[in-house]
Each structure stands twice: as C-alpha cells, then as structure tokens.
Structure 1
Amino acid sequence: MPKGMARPLIQERGSRHFETPMLDPGAPPIGILGTGDFSRSLANRLVTCGYRVVVGSRIPKRSVCLFPADAEVTSQIEAASQADLVFIAVYPEHYSTLVELRPVLAGKVLVDVSNGLEIKRHGPSNAEQLADLFPDSFVVKGFNVISAWTLQTGPLDGSRQVFVCGDSSQAKASVTQLCHKMGFTPVDMGPLSSSVEVENIPTLSLSSWSIPLFCSLSLFVFFYLYNFIRDVLQPYIMTGKSLFYKMPIDTVNVTLPCVALVIAGTGLRTPGCVPHSSSCGWGTKYRRFPACLDRWLIQRKQFGLCSFLCAVLHAIYSLCLPMRKSARYKLLNAAFKQVKEGMEDAWIDEEVWRMELYVSVGIMALGLLSLLAVTSLPSVANSINWREFSFIQSTLGYCALSAATTHTLLYGWDRAFSPSHYPFHLPPTFVLVLIPSIVVLLGRLVVLLPCVGTRLRRIRRGWEENRHIRFTLPSNGSCNGPEDISDV
C-alpha cells in the first residue's frame, strides 16, 4: 500500500460496491511548489487518489481558493518542510527563487515536471539544472508529458505513460509507485542524463508525421495537376470545351485513389520488401540497413493512415458524384438523346459487369484498410499478440493492396488501350499508379517462392552465407534439433 494511504473503506450504494480511499493523517503529505494550472490539476488528482497534499505558494491567501478543500495551501518553506516528495511545478527560469529552500529540501525527492520551449540536442536539461541547484536532493524527471487536462479527466482520456528518469533508484521507485496509484504507467528512461530526451517529447510537433504528410501532399499536388492537364486543360485548348467545373469534385476524386494506392504500395509495402531482398543478397541479417530505411520502416504506420484517409475521402467523394447538378444534366441529356435516336435499350453487359466488380472490390479494399487502421491503434494493438498483429498488418495488408490494385485494373478495363485516353500523349493516372503496386506485389510473390523463402528463414534464424555454421531448419519450424547450431 502506498505511503500516506490507509486501508480503503468499502461502502455500499444500492447494489454497487466501491472503494473510498481514506487519508492517513500521520503519513507525510505530497508537496507541490507552484500554483499554476498544472499544480492545481495535480493537487486535485492526488487528493482524488487519497493522498494528503500540501501546496507551497509565495502568497498563500491568494491561492487557497484555487485548490481543493482537502489540499493545504501554505508557504513554500512550510510545504517543503512537511513533504518528503515534492513536485517542482514552477518555470525553469524561476528555479533560482527556490535556492533558499535548499536546507529544507536536502535528502528529499524532487520531481521536475517542466518542459523546454525548444528542442535541445545536448544538455543540460531543466532537471539537470535543478539537480545542480539542489545537490543534496534526489531529482527525478517525470510527469512532463502529462497535461493538466489529463490530470483532471483521468488517464483514460489522455496518455497513460509517464516517462521517469533519475540517478537514485529509490527516488525513482517512489515516483513509480505514485504513478501507479494515480492510474498511469511509468516508463523508466534511465539516469537523469536522459531527461534531455524526455523533455523534448512534448516539444516535438508531428515529428513522425512530417515525412508521410509531405509525401502525401506532394503526391496529391502532382496527380491533381496531372489530371487537370489531361481532363480539363487539354479539352479547353484543343476544342474550347470548358470543363473547369470538374476541378472541385471530379479531379479531386480521381486524384485521391492515386495517392492512396501509391502510398499503400510504395510507401507502406516497399520498406518491407527491401529488407527481405537485402538480407537474401547479403546472406546475413547482421548487416545494418541505412538510416533512411530505418526511419522509413518506423513511419510505415503514418504512411498507412495517410493512405487510409485518402481511400475514405475517395469513397465519400464517389458517393457524392450522383448528387451534383452536372451529373443530373448528363443523365437528362443522355435520356433525351436516347429518345431522339429511338433507342429502346442502352444496356451494355460489359459496362455493367465492370462497374459491379469495380465497386465490389473497392469496398473490400476499403474494408481491409479500415481493419489495418483500427489495428494500428495502441489500445487495439496491445490486446492482440504479435502473431495476430503480424498477420493483420502483413498478410491482410498485402490482401488490401491486391484488392486496391484489382479495383484499379477493373476501372481501367480496356481504357488503357484506347488512344482517346492519351491526350497530349499522357497516359491515364491509373496506368501510372498500377506500376509501383504491381512491382511490389511481384516482389512479394518472389519472397514466397520456396527457394527464396527457405533461404530467408535460415537467415532470420542466424545462418550466414560467409561463415561455416552448421544449420538445419526442421520441417516443423522448431529449433530443438541437435543440428540447429547458430550464433546468438
């Protein structure tokens, strides 16, 4: 049971039982120096978890109304004297104002919750500066990635992880125990020198999203301009026909699936094929990949979500196509032309089958992409084991790419062989996007070949081509045979 807590009291309301934490008046309270938003939210959270809280303020009378009634608001020196664990909830530039508390805080645990205003590549960090000011105290970095809103609403509405680092194992153990009691998950980041990286975490803005978003936006601009030149500008230049009304919906709707398929093939699946081919070519798994490939592999989740977003927008745009005025006018003109020419039936089996298959495969591709996107959520990924996660992200991922490629092939049908679909000698966009996706699928098929697959499995289990290591892969895939000898 955490320090400062007494045995919970079981109460009954109707048919439901719940635990109400009881305060232990004899246990040392948790101290907080500072009266800002984070300090108030932290005090409220600690009181809710059953801890005694004492808040140190330069002007206690002005701050007492901002904190819970169960929290004691007093002077800084009195709060520091009562508590054994003290949160330093003041800005780093105000650390010097606490120097007079150095004798009182000696031997106590100080939790630094501050963040920097910019990314630091080297130290000293705020926590290290605090440790220099209080050499007789045990400084622990923690709770800086938790917002005041998360402290108020609970860990279910925000991040659960609290990164903790410090040079004293006992001090980190005290903060870790406190994290557990507050409902968070502590993550030990090592010594206090790691606080530079911990303080940079809240400062990083979309650090893992910058490249995927840039690539997605660049592809969208490229394909949009390409489709605009082919479908809008070329008819206007050649025949004077104005089709600029297509720009808001038609051109966007043709561009979105191009971006989705290129990202799903090249951005999402290519980094998985490159390591396979490299390992087979090198004959070892111990040769390090380039740094750019490592970053690419790490950001595959972001690429996949960008592809999913484009696919969903494409589906929504496609559903909105019949609601446009231009689509209605085209239907009326087609019906009027049919009546004028005396046509009784405009049914074309080939076009009907093409559209039925095209829409059906597209729905399946979107469903598989939705499954991949949902599985990438941390709450879902943590509830399945690695084999299940690998099956969904790898096997079903290639199934989604195959369905999307088939969807594009059915859309193209025989249009790729019609000269009328090559204005300005520019091929249709579906021809361009099919090339990388088909190459990726063919590369996957090569990996599945017995000769390549067996070699790759042996390399994964430690076999190296340029070393004389006796290695036999059992038929059942286990490693219990007497001849399975490899370096670990």
Structure 2
Amino acid sequence: MDSNSVGQIPLHQTSSRKRLDHKRDTICILGTGDFGRSLGIRLLKSGHPVVFGSRDPKNSALLPSGAQVFSHAEALKTSKIIFLAVHRENYDFIPALSNLLDGKVLVDVSNNFKMNQYPESNAQYLSQLVPKANVVKGFNTVSAWALQSGSLDASSQVFVCGDDNISKQLVMDVARSIGLSPLDQGSLLAATELENYPLQLFPMWRLPFIIMAGLTVFLFMYYVVLKVIYSYVIYNTDKTYQMVISIPNHVFPCVSLILLGLVYLPGVIAAFLQLYRGTKYKRFPDWLDKWMLCRKQLGLASFAYGFLHVFYSLVKPLRYIFYWKQVQYAASQVKKNTTSEIEMVWVWRGDLFYALGILGFFVFCLLGITSLPSVSNAMNWREFRFVQSKLGHVTLLLCTAHTAVLGWNKFLRPTAFKWGLPPGYMLAMVIPCIVLVLKLILITPCVDRMITRIRQGWERKRRDLDYSA
C-alpha cells in the first residue's frame, strides 16, 4: 500500500464530498402564481432544486423548466424550507397539511391589499394554523418582476422576522444565495410592520411633498396677485396668459431656492444647538430629527424644480408675446428715429446673472449625480461629505447670488413693491440668506474649533447634562 494514502480519502471521493457540501438545499414553493414562478426561476438560476406544490400538478405549462411539480402533500416531503406564495384568503388547505409541516420552515411571503387589514398579521395567523411549523415572514418586499428580470438594485433588501433564530438564518441564507441582502427584524411580532411596508406610498416623501406643494401653491397665487390681478385692477390690462409660462417660470426657481435652503438649514440649527448645549450626547428635538431625515428628498425636489426652470427659460424666447414685444420696441424706435445707447451696467448685470445661473445649476447637477446610489456607493465618507456639504453650500451661494442679481437694486425702488408686497424672489432669498449667514459664523476658526471638539466627544458641563431628554 502507498504510504501517502494511509488514513486519507481517495481524491475522487474528496471531490465528490466537496460537490455534495456545496449542493444547494431543495426549496419547495406552494403556489404557482406570478411570485411563485419568479422566485422559482431565481432559485433555479442560483443552483437550488425547486419543487412546486400545486392543487393541479398536471397544469404546469407556465412553470419554469427544471422544476418539479407535485401535489401539495408530495411537495412538502421533498424539502425542509417551504415558501408559501398564496394570499391569506387561500390558506384553507394549510391545516390539512399540518402534520407534514412539523418542524419545517414555512416562509410567508404574502401581502395585503390595505394596511392593517386584519387584526393580526398574516404570518401570525399562519403560525396559529400550523403551530408546530417554524413560520418566518420574508420576501414580501421584493416584487415578482425584480426576481424574474434580475433588476434587484432598487429592492435588494429582504426583511426577515420569526421566533426561531435557526429558521431565520436558513431563510436569510437562501436570500443571500439569490443575490439579496437579508435584514433580521426580530420576532414574528414585527410581521405586521413588514406587511404594511410595501403598502406605504413614498413614506419619506410625505413631508417634502407637503412642503413643496404648499410653497408652489402659495407662490403661484402670490404671483397671480402681483402680475395678473394687479395689472387688471390698476391698468385694466389682461395678463392672464402669464399663468401658463411666465408665472410658473418665476415660481419654479423660487421654490427650488427655498427647498435648497431647507436642505442645509437643519444642519446649521443642529450645530448651534450643540454649541448651546456643549455636547453631542443629547437628542435633537423630534421635529429636527424628522427634518434632517428628509433632506435628501428636499434636495431632489429642489433639483427637479431647478430643471423645470431651465427648460421654461429656454422656451421663453419662442413665445409669440416675446416676438410681439420685440417688434413693438423696434417699431417705436423707428417712429422716434432714435436708437438706444448700450448701457454697460445692464450688460454686466445680464452676463453676471446668466453666468451665476449656469455655474449654480452645474454644481447642482453634481449634487444630484452623487445622490445616486451607484455613485455614492463608490465614494468614501469624506468625498461624499465634501460634495454634499461643501459643494452644496457653494450651490446655495451661487443660486442665491443668481437671484440677487435678478433683483439688482429693485429693493430700493418703491415701485417694485406692488400694493406694498415684495417681489417673490425676495421672499425666496430669506431662508438661503439666513443659512449662508449662519454657516459663515460656523466656519469662523474659533467657532469651528469648538464644534469640532464637541463632535469628537468633548463636553462642557457633563454633570449638569440631562441625557434623558
């Protein structure tokens, strides 16, 4: 006998054992609808043997090739992990299979048609029907389309909850094997929250939408008063046509500038609050926490309004009223037999106005691009913070200067205040100017050093701080 082979497993047996160790678990799917088929396709591509349980095993034309189809009872005998891909209304066949589910992992992927539709979650109800099965809630936040097409970038997270940790780990391993990122949400009590999650309509956009809708409506009506109603009352002139292009092109930049200011205002408020308290170990007020959590949405909304302003500005020279005014002005010059002298102040004002707008929008585009997950994930924290904070304040400065040049010296003219009301762009500059002034204070060396020390853990009066607030 070869001495090298003593006590060793032959090479071909070692390879066979390695192949067996890497063999994927067989997955059973009860339900042959869209989600069940899509999940089956994804599992097959990842190397999992898939068995479908159907009430009509002969009708399997739509099921993916490579999968086996049996009756519910026969399918349950093939796997220890079962995905239940049916609606709660169709759980009536489950109690009859209770003995076959003893000790097995039963994954509930169902969702409801409205939030809190039932007194208990679907997963909790299922655990009552089969008390000896290990029910796990998961995969309900992933769409059938994303599973089948492989477009999992936008929905790669899978929330999992259950009372048995080993069962949860098995389900999470399956999720990882098909390219998903599982997150443990605790016990089965969290199933209600998980089932309500897919039914929420842009939950992080609710407050930003209310803010931008309120600002849009207010400023639109404000400009209607200044430009349409005022002209009709004072000069008996019909300028209702401005409600289509001209007024929106005033409203969009104003809302964009205000929203951009609201993105950076909570940051400076938080900094001054830390300076006042002398510590970073005390919670911010709830309203400030909620405000800071929706800064990305406010920034994206501001960027969208800025885009609208750019396109509306490009359309303005194409309008009939623009050509008409140009012709009338030229005709008046001909009648008077005069020509207007060029005014260098207005030349500088116009060029500076457009230059600041172009530069501001260019940096704004950089902010928008870096907010994309594919771009932000490729940046380290310092790079992301530099773009979103430093360049963000530069964007706010350029856009505010762009608006200020538009007004030039009109704030000194009483005629600019129709019925005593300031022009809309003056209102839009209030919050950005406040942010810029406060930020200027924060970046002064003495204040910046104090803020840095506090954020590194230094505290002014540690004994007197109330950490429960």
Q: If the length of structure 1 is used for normalisation, what is the TM-score? A: 0.87
CA deviation after TM superposition for structure 1 residue 158, in Å = 4.1
CA deviation after TM superposition for structure 1 residue 284, in Å = 1.7
Q: Which position in structure 2 is the counterpart of 1:39?
A: 36
Q: Does 2:92 correspond to 1:92?
A: no
Q: Pick from 169, 190, 215: which aligns with 1:194? A: 190
Q: Which position in structure 2 is the counterpart of 1:205?
A: 201
2:147 and 2:219 map into 1 onto residues whose CA distance is: 45
1:208 aligned counterpart, secondary structure: helix
**Which deviations, in whole Å up to 9, do the C-alpha atoms of 1:246-289 show, x marking residues without a partner?**
11000010111110111111x21111111111111112222211
Identity of aligned residues (%): 41
When residues 197 and 27 of structure 1 are mapped into structure 2, their CA distance, relative to the original with a 3 A threshold, is closer
Please tell me whether the aligned partners of residues 43 and 49 of structure 2 are also in contact (alpha carbons under 8 angstroms): yes
User: What letter matches 2:111 in structure 1?
Assistant: N
Q: Which position in structure 1 is the counterpart of 2:47?
A: 50
Q: Does 2:344 correspond to 1:343?
A: no
Q: Pick from 445, 453, 473: which aligns with 2:448? A: 453
Q: Which position in structure 1 is the counterpart of 2:277?
A: 282
Q: Pick from 61, 65, 70: which aligns with 1:74? A: 70
Bigger drift between 195-204 and 440-449 goes to 195-204
When residues 387 and 30 of structure 1 are mapped into structure 2, their CA distance, relative to the original with a 3 A threshold, is same
Q: Does 2:429 correspond to 1:444?
A: no
CA deviation after TM superposition for structure 1 residue 23, in Å = 11
1:121 and 1:367 map into 2 onto residues whose CA distance is: 48
CA deviation after TM superposition for structure 1 residue 462, in Å = 2.0
Identify unmatched segments of 5+ residues in structure 2: 1-14, 465-469
Q: Which position in structure 2 is the counterpart of 1:387?
A: 382
User: What letter matches 2:46 in structure 1?
Assistant: C
CA deviation after TM superposition for structure 1 residue 150, in Å = 0.5
User: What letter matches 1:327 in structure 2?
Assistant: F
1:107 aligned counterpart, secondary structure: coil
Q: Does 2:261 correspond to 1:262?
A: no
CA deviation after TM superposition for structure 1 residue 345, in Å = 4.6
Q: Which position in structure 1 is the counterpart of 2:228?
A: 232
1:262 and 1:176 map into 2 onto residues whose CA distance is: 44
CA RMSD of aligned residues (A): 2.3
Please tell me whether the aligned partners of residues 24 and 48 of structure 2 are also in contact (alpha carbons under 8 angstroms): no
CA deviation after TM superposition for structure 1 residue 299, in Å = 0.5
User: What letter matches 1:249 in structure 2?
Assistant: I
Please tell me whether the aligned partners of residues 30 and 54 of structure 2 are also in contact (alpha carbons under 8 angstroms): yes
Please tell me whether the aligned partners of residues 28 and 82 of structure 1 are also in contact (alpha carbons under 8 angstroms): no
CA deviation after TM superposition for structure 1 residue 118, in Å = 3.0
1:95 and 1:286 map into 2 onto residues whose CA distance is: 50
Q: Does 2:128 correspond to 1:113?
A: no
1:298 and 1:124 map into 2 onto residues whose CA distance is: 30
1:289 and 1:157 map into 2 onto residues whose CA distance is: 33
2:161 aligned counterpart, secondary structure: strand
CA deviation after TM superposition for structure 1 residue 244, in Å = 1.4
1:332 and 1:377 map into 2 onto residues whose CA distance is: 46
1:216 and 1:23 map into 2 onto residues whose CA distance is: 58
Q: Which position in structure 1 is the counterpart of 2:217?
A: 221
Please tell me whether the aligned partners of residues 160 and 168 of structure 2 are also in contact (alpha carbons under 8 angstroms): yes
Q: Pick from 125, 128, 146: which aligns with 2:142? A: 146
1:186 and 1:123 map into 2 onto residues whose CA distance is: 27
Please tell me whether the aligned partners of residues 53 and 75 of structure 2 are also in contact (alpha carbons under 8 angstroms): yes
Q: Which position in structure 2 is the counterpart of 1:310?
A: 305
Q: Which position in structure 1 is the counterpart of 2:409?
A: 414
Q: Pick from 280, 287, 294: which aligns with 1:292? A: 287
Q: If the length of structure 2 is used for normalisation, what is the TM-score? A: 0.90
2:435 and 2:154 map into 1 onto residues whose CA distance is: 38
1:384 aligned counterpart, secondary structure: coil
Please tell me whether the aligned partners of residues 122 and 196 of structure 1 are also in contact (alpha carbons under 8 angstroms): no
When residues 428 and 90 of structure 1 are mapped into structure 2, their CA distance, relative to the original with a 3 A threshold, is same
When residues 349 and 321 of structure 1 are mapped into structure 2, their CA distance, relative to the original with a 3 A threshold, is same
Please tell me whether the aligned partners of residues 23 and 51 of structure 1 are also in contact (alpha carbons under 8 angstroms): no
2:203 aligned counterpart, secondary structure: coil
Bigger drift between 326-335 and 66-75 goes to 66-75
Bigger drift between 197-206 and 131-140 goes to 131-140
2:462 aligned counterpart, secondary structure: coil
Q: Does 2:401 correspond to 1:401?
A: no
Please tell me whether the aligned partners of residues 447 and 453 of structure 1 are also in contact (alpha carbons under 8 angstroms): yes
1:121 and 1:75 map into 2 onto residues whose CA distance is: 30
**Which deviations, in whole Å up to 9, do the C-alpha atoms of 1:206-247 show, x marking residues without a partner?**
111111111101101111111111112111111111111111
Q: Which position in structure 1 is the counterpart of 2:11?
A: none
When residues 39 and 121 of structure 1 are mapped into structure 2, their CA distance, relative to the original with a 3 A threshold, is closer
CA deviation after TM superposition for structure 1 residue 347, in Å = 2.4
1:73 aligned counterpart, secondary structure: strand
Please tell me whether the aligned partners of residues 123 and 196 of structure 1 are also in contact (alpha carbons under 8 angstroms): no
User: What letter matches 1:315 in structure 2?
Assistant: V
User: What letter matches 2:295 in structure 1?
Assistant: R
Identify unmatched segments of 5+ residues in structure 1: 1-6, 8-21, 470-488
Q: Does 2:240 correspond to 1:244?
A: yes
CA deviation after TM superposition for structure 1 residue 312, in Å = 0.6
User: What letter matches 1:109 in structure 2?
Assistant: V
**Which deviations, in whole Å up to 9, do the C-alpha atoms of 1:374-419 show, x marking residues without a partner?**
2222222221111111111111111110011000011111222222
Bigger drift between 64-73 and 191-200 goes to 191-200
Bigger drift between 114-123 and 385-394 goes to 114-123
1:55 aligned counterpart, secondary structure: strand
Q: Does 2:129 correspond to 1:126?
A: no
- Report how many aligned residue pairs link the two structures: 448
